[in-house]
Structure 1
Amino acid sequence: MKKRFYFRLILILLVLFLFFVSFYSLPYYVSKPGMAKELEPIIEVENGYEDEEGSFMLTTIRMGKANIYSYLMAHVSKYQEIYPLEAIRSEEETEEEYNVRQLHMMANSKQAAIEVAYKKAGLPTRYDYKGVYVLSIEEDMPAAGKLRPGDRIFKVDGHEFPSSEKFIEYVGGKSVGDKIKLTYIRRGKEGEVTVEVQPFPKEPTRVGVGIGLVDDKELHVEPKVEINTEDIGGPSAGFMFSLEIYNQLTKGDLTKGYEIAGTGTISPDGTVGRIGGIEQKIVAADKAGAEIFFAPNEKGAKDSNYRAAVKTAKDIGTKMKIVPIDQFDDAISYLDGLKEKK
């Protein structure tokens, strides 16, 4: 009987221990290699060319709050990284605000990718301003508890504004104690809230309602294009989006039958920018069978993504070719000169 009792006690304690190490959060984030995802199934240009022999792939990392188990595993795993909380989330930023910021950066990267691809294809683009998008809210300011990250404010006191600058100018011109009415959209439903203008605690000479915001713009193009990224956040897939969109807009197949992965932000002028986790993305691309990997070159900087990618590729023994890219046009030139895969 005693043996059975002690066995059950040890079992219960073991379960409690495993529960503790799995669910107790530490003030760190852990990142690890994610996946390489083919882009043709998630990007659709209306009546576009979809006869790719190979494929373009975005690459991801998996990022999450550390528990005791994941923290210990990251210490002994070569391609897992540990980041202190403040390195990932800005000061006083909540988990909800962080997620909203990541999704907004993804939305911006989509728009920039579409703009770059359509301009390269000689097709017009047009933006419509829809309001301001709430990224964050200061705890001790009037908007706290009334607005949420992700809300789209499109009217102030019944007036619409052509940019976030005009919105800030209007609110900043109010006096302490003045009340303003904000009309917003949250999850498809319209709402209104009245807030009092107050000075910012850290900048008492400046007044506002305590929201961090950016412009919410809608891009219009013909033919239409849809990019279904679900819950993938961040801006690092923008460059690869632009390649897939351009490939569907134009005759011929830029992939030439190769499996092509890559990463990098994309600016409306076609500049390909630095991203985080390049080493982990090389690992993910190699596991997915990529033959070519485009990496941000950063104009040849000593600590560029490209140099880190080359080092990692050598370290893991992959045959994947790493190609340095500074501009969207660099990738197009490379692909135009690529021989068809036999």
Structure 2
Amino acid sequence: MRVKRTKKSYFFLFITGLCLAAVLFFPLPFYITEPGIAHELDSVIKVEGGTKEKGELMLTTVKIVKATLPTYLLASIRKYEDIIPEKELFGDEETDEEYNVRQLYDMNSSKNNAIMAAFHKIKRPYRTDFKGVYVLDVFPDMPAEKVLKPGDRIIAVDGRNLVSSSQFMKYVQSKPPGTQLKVTFVRKEKQITKPISTMKFPMQKHKTGIGIGLMDDIKVTTHPKVTINTKNIGGPSAGLMFSLEIYNQLVKQDITKGYKIAGTGTISPDGTVGRIGGIAYKVVAADKAGADIFFAPNDPIPKEWKKKHPEIQTNYQEAVKAAKDTKTNMKIVPVKTLDDALDYLQKLKPKE
């Protein structure tokens, strides 16, 4: 016997389907963090006339996705998938746009530092040119909010070309509240000049400004030329691995010796390796990619941090724990500097 469907029953089914889809795929105010990828660097970094390698040097990433009901439920029971409230990821006042700009700026800064660290190590000269003051974020209810956007590059104020972000801050803070400044900035390759008034910060009455978070925007010029193409990967944590890849293409000896080498850590121009977040996810990503070695920052924990957070561990300790949990054969190597990583690789026997 065939049941006859009415127009009302079809409409009910349609509405039910829409409601179900909304429940399943509507974004929640949470993000899921999980292991990303381990990406080889010889296709990302090109040094003119650089040498080739037998093994691989790889950066590692953390994947961050907006949570839906199904992904939220799965993350709550899966290991190495964590649920982070939206406010915890972005902060109370940071927007999605500001977060993305900050991540891309951190990546650009990481590239510059990596180039300088590698060239410093082999004692080759490089040149740094100041391009302007990079706007990382714009504070709400401050004068700059109606004029500037994250990603803008301020190049002059009141007709004076800038030579550093500190010069810009000193000039702005020297002006009394209500002073109108002519700020020249570049947005999407277009130069714009607009007035912005100074104002006392609501939470810092002793401080005057226009209401932006800023950093120096510099360009590093080298010979031979170094090109780093990271597309939409953000953050500062690939610095160490960038430096190792640049160094390896600059020197004749192949430091990989046939091994697949992953790792993480920020880098300073002097070669100091710094702490990063999400290292456990990166260990898992490196293991899945078949890495033999993983470099982990062996960052000293300040006493005041340890006092407030007794459970805190160094990146190296976190990485060792993740390696044990995943039962990987990958060697976890602690490093505090670029030299530490290079010394370890120098002592390695070539892979058979």
Give the alignment's TM-score, normalised by structure 1.
0.94
What amino acid does structure 1 have at the position aligned with 2:226? Answer: V
Task: Give runs of aligned pairs for residues 76-225 of structure 1, distance below 5 A.
Answer: 76-225=77-226
Distance in 2 between residues matched to 1:258 and 1:322, nearest whole Å: 14
Q: Name the residue aligned to 1:20.
A: 23
**Which stretch shifts more, 137-146 or 150-159?**
137-146
Task: Please state how far the C-alpha of 1:89 moved relative to its aligned partner.
Answer: 1.8
**Which stretch shifts more, 157-166 or 238-247?**
157-166
**Which stretch shifts more, 196-205 or 57-66?**
196-205
Task: Please state how far the C-alpha of 1:272 moved relative to its aligned partner.
Answer: 1.2
Task: Please state how far the C-alpha of 1:14 moved relative to its aligned partner.
Answer: 3.6
What amino acid does structure 1 have at the position aligned with 2:344? Answer: Y
Task: Give runs of aligned pairs for residues 313-332 of structure 1, distance below 5 A.
Answer: 313-332=323-342
Distance in 1 between residues matched to 2:10 and 2:77, nearest whole Å: 31
Residue 44 of structure 2 is aligned to residue 42 of structure 1: yes
Distance in 2 between residues matched to 1:145 and 1:66, nearest whole Å: 32
Task: Please state how far the C-alpha of 1:221 moved relative to its aligned partner.
Answer: 1.4
Q: Name the residue aligned to 2:305.
A: none
**Contact 2:27/2:66, CA 8 A, preserved across alignment:** no
Distance in 1 between residues matched to 2:9 and 2:261, nearest whole Å: 57
Q: Which of 327, 334, 350 does residue 340 from structure 1 map onto? A: 350
Distance in 2 between residues matched to 1:229 and 1:53, nearest whole Å: 22
SS at match of 1:71: helix
What amino acid does structure 1 have at the position aligned with 2:350? Answer: E
SS at match of 1:63: strand
Q: Name the residue aligned to 1:33.
A: 35
Distance in 2 between residues matched to 1:54 and 1:97, nearest whole Å: 37
Task: Please state how far the C-alpha of 1:311 moved relative to its aligned partner.
Answer: 1.6
SS at match of 1:143: helix
What amino acid does structure 2 have at the position aligned with 1:242? Answer: S
Distance in 2 between residues matched to 1:21 and 1:172, nearest whole Å: 51
Q: Name the residue aligned to 2:278.
A: 277
Give the alignment's TM-score, normalised by structure 2.
0.91
Q: Which of 290, 293, 308 does residue 318 from structure 2 map onto? A: 308
What amino acid does structure 2 have at the position aligned with 1:339? Answer: K
Identity rate, percent: 51
Alignment: residue pair count:
340
SS at match of 2:344: helix
Task: Please state how far the C-alpha of 1:107 moved relative to its aligned partner.
Answer: 0.8
Task: Please state how far the C-alpha of 1:69 moved relative to its aligned partner.
Answer: 2.6
Q: Cα deviation per residue 1:89-130 (whole Å; 9 max; x = unaligned)?
A: 233111100111111111111111111101111101221112
Task: Please state how far the C-alpha of 1:74 moved relative to its aligned partner.
Answer: 1.2
In structure 1, list runs of 5 or more residues that go unmatched: none
Q: Cα deviation per residue 1:287-313 (whole Å; 9 max; x = unaligned)?
A: 111111111122599711212212211
Task: Give runs of aligned pairs for residues 248-287 of structure 1, distance below 5 A.
Answer: 248-287=249-288
In structure 2, list runs of 5 or more residues that go unmatched: 303-311
Q: Cα deviation per residue 1:123-174 (whole Å; 9 max; x = unaligned)?
A: 0122111210001111211111211000000010110122111111111111
Distance in 1 between residues matched to 2:205 and 2:326, nearest whole Å: 54
Change (3 A) 1:332 1:300: farther
Distance in 2 between residues matched to 1:306 and 1:208, nearest whole Å: 40
SS at match of 2:328: coil
What amino acid does structure 1 have at the position aligned with 2:268? Answer: S
